[in-house]
Amino acid sequence: MIELDTDELLRVLCLGGIASERRATVPVLGCVRLTFNGRLSVQSTNCDQACVATAEISGGGGEPFDLCLPSHEEVRKALRAAGGPTTMLSVEGQTLTIASGSLNIRANCLPASEMPTLWENGRECFSVLAGPEFVSALNRARAAMSDDRMRYYLSGLHISEGSTTRPGRRVVGCDGHRLHVIPIEFENATDAIPPNLILPRAAIEMLVPRLTEAKASPRFSVWKGVGKEGTLVSFTAHVDGTPWVVFSKGIDGAYPNYETVIPVDHKFSFTVEARALRGAVLALSAPFRKRKDGTAAVRFDVFKDGTARLSAAWASAAVGHAEASIPISGLTGEPSVFGFNGAYVADMLTAFEGDAVEFLITDGASPALVRDPESAGPFVVLMPLRVG
């Protein structure tokens, strides 16, 4: 029997169980593996990602055990609802007893040997202690990840060493309609980032919200020669004091040469306050965000008097058309009418941390480059939409 703080048990069950498979096509993938040998570890996998969270046990007493616990989410709910300040775990055969306050749960478990292993011994080819800025870069680029299964190599984020024309490490997200490029800096990295390293969407969605909230600095590592699966990526961090490791297979594919779509020239440019732009675009595109296609063509009319009028046609019986005017500054060149998917513009603003963004436009039929006027680093490319 072992005893630990209930809050700590809830935390390791949550972090360690994130990768469990909800579809239950393979029952053991819906379990978490509980292993005790002086400390308690909780592990889950969906065969593409795996998570391990660890809790230290005071005194380390108790007999070792290793088993797979089903319905771990229901166990967490019960502990949160009726558990006491501490919880005791005891094992008899394949039955795990969880006692906390007035709550007593007897769970029939599966053998630990049924849980598949995601990784085997491999060679670490890249490793760095990445600061919160790296997690922020992942968060700022992830809106541009594709959800098109046909273009699976875009369904993730590309971590790049850069190129001869655009040197510098960066996080890249692209879905064919928009491109987010966020620069990153690593100190004391062991080697160069492997080419075509793509972190899958599932891993990004596991990692970023929790590491952002905890403001944890993960160790980011890349492994080669891992079984027959090629590249494996790992993130090691402490989340609210709990050691947490996430493993993920990399996407097997070549990331496209996104630099070919980056505009190299423009005919006019202007700067707009990010908060005003976000408010106007969200107001105009709100009815469209409920539609499956997610398209809301927002038209931009830029005037020399220092304003930009944004307008959209609504598919509504009550409102046929809506528009909003916002101030702009620094207008150069001769402006023309252009348009974008409004939802993409709102998402684009998450790529920047400053108060303003600068649009560099060629014409209404060409990609637009958007950047932070105060920083030469992050930029976004938006493909245009035809507007009347």
Residue 167 in tokens = 């040197």
Q: How many CB atoms lie within 10 A of CB 324?
A: 17
Q: Is 317 exposed, middle or buried (0-12, 13-18, 19+ CB in 10 A)?
A: exposed
Q: What is the pTM of this model?
A: 0.88
pLDDT for res 23:
67
pLDDT for res 62:
79
pLDDT in tens, 67-121: 999 989 999 999 999 989 999 999 998 999 999 999 999 999 999 988 887 666 5
Residue 338 in tokens = 């252009």
Q: How many CB atoms lie within 10 A of CB 274?
A: 17
Q: What is the mean pLDDT of the chain?
A: 88
Report the chain's terminal Cα–Cα distance, integer Å.
Answer: 72
pLDDT at 228 over 70: no
pLDDT in tens, 168-185: 899 999 998 999 999 998
Given a contact cutoff of 8 angstroms between Cβ atoms, the answer to whether 342 and 284 are in contact is yes
Quickly list DSSP for 237-258: EEETTEEEEEEEEPP-SPPP-G
pLDDT in tens, 327-385: 999 999 988 899 998 889 999 999 999 999 999 999 888 999 999 998 878 999 999 98
